[in-house]
Amino acid sequence: MEKREYLDLYHQMVVIRRLEERSAELYQQGKIGGFLHLYIGQEAVSTGLISVRRPEDRIITAYRDHGVAINCGLSAREVMAELLGKVTGCSRGKGGSMHLADVKKNFWGGHAIVGAHLPIAAGLALGDVYQNNKAVTVCMFGDGATNIGYFHEALNLSKVWNLPVLWVCENNQYGMGTAVERASAVSEMRQKADGYGMKSEAVNGMNVIEVREVSARLYEEIRNGSGPQFLEVITYRFRGHSMGDPERYRSSEEVKTWLENDPIGIYHRYLLEHQIASEEELQEQIRLAEEEINDAVAFAEASPEPPAEELFQHIYVEG
């Protein structure tokens, strides 16, 4: 990897962190409505995973999607504008936080019904098989989604039809406020892939380089016809499930232990220790990220509300 690429990963992670921190502020100011699920603590997962995808590879995820959108190449401007419900947002202000997408960048959303996007991911991969595209569909979901029927129907079909899907379970230890062991019959999510005869492995989701390396290998195996595979990424969300979460289900000691494992901090030290970048260079990336987010907020706030006629647009393509 070139130095520029190392710095770019760092930049993306910091952009996501700042985007989320600013979103939380804007939410508290009442400028962002609805639900807001922050990606803070999980930045290394999507940054590592998506950094090795090819343009033809499709990405689809659940509602904790801001970071994924940034990693897929959406601008902080169009993400922030969507959060503020503006017509300049990536979904024209009609989707909101949970429904970011840009199909031109092969980012297929942002889906808010737990597990319901997994069957759709199987279909995206089926579309590629049917059209002889050598592409991989990467489907991200939380540990909570492995307990719903859609998950099982989708994994089963992907194996029966040998679809090129990388199933990525972000195990952040909690489905909303319910700890994994209180909701799942098995403690490791990857065990569920065994039931479908599917190859699986786990990776430390707090280390962007580890996620990236495992992902690169899995993309190539799937691209070369291995069939679907399952990757469990062990991670943690530093904030509540969504804004307004009282967090009665976990101790401050537990949160503190994970905070010491901050994925940005880990990567920051890695870059210094391996003399890939200097402290000044990393500070410069932080400064650029902050500028980018300031610009995004200014853009979003200055953007117009959707015009009234937008209400009845896009119900159908025809008629």
The site for other proteins (CB under 8 A) is made up of 89-95, 99, 101-104, 108-110, 113, 116, 118-128, 130-131, 149-150, 153-154, 156-157, 160-161, 313-319
Nearer Cβ to other proteins, position 130 or 256?
A: 130
Q: How far is the CB of 281 from other proteins (least distance, A)?
A: 37
Q: How far apart are CA 246 and CA 226, in angstroms?
A: 43
Cα separation, 180 vs 187, in Å, equals 7
> For other proteins, which is the closer residue by CB, 31 or 152?
152
We find the least distance from the C-beta atom of residue 36 to other proteins, in angstroms, to be: 17
Whether 35 contacts 59, CB under 8 Å: no
Q: Which is nearer to other proteins, 15 or 155 (CB)?
A: 155
Residue whose CB is less far from other proteins, 119 or 177: 119
| Spatial separation of the C-alpha atoms in residues 264 and 213, rounded to whole Å | 17
Helix ranges, 76-148 (H): 76-83, 117-130
Q: What is the CA radius of gyration of the chain?
A: 19
* Nearest distance from C-beta of residue 167 to other proteins, angstroms: 13
Rounded CA separation 24/255 (Å): 18
The SS3 assignment for 213 reads: helix
> Minimum distance from CB of 94 to other proteins (Å)?
5
Closest to other proteins by CB, 89 vs 263, is 89
The nearest distance, CB 54 to other proteins, in angstroms, is: 16
Q: DSSP letters of 250-306?
A: S-HHHHHHHHTT-HHHHHHHHHHHTTSS-HHHHHHHHHHHHHHHHHHHHHHHHSPPP
Give whichever of 111 and 268 is closer to other proteins, judged by the CB atom.
111
d(C-alpha 42, C-alpha 233), whole Å: 10
Calculate ∠ Cα 246-252-254, nearest 5°.
Answer: 115
CB of 15 to other proteins, least distance (A): 22
Q: Report the nearest approach of other proteins to the CB of residue 296 (Å).
A: 18
| Complex with other proteins: residue 13 or 69, whichever CB lies closer | 69
Closest CB to other proteins among residues 116, 276: 116
- What minimum distance in Å lies between the beta carbon of 174 and other proteins? 23
Q: What is the spatial distance between Cα 8 and Cα 14, in angstroms, rounded to a whole number?
A: 10
Cα-based distances in Å from 223 to 157, 220, 278, 313? 18, 5, 36, 38
Q: What is the Cα–Cα distance from 153 to 245, expressed in whole angstroms?
A: 31
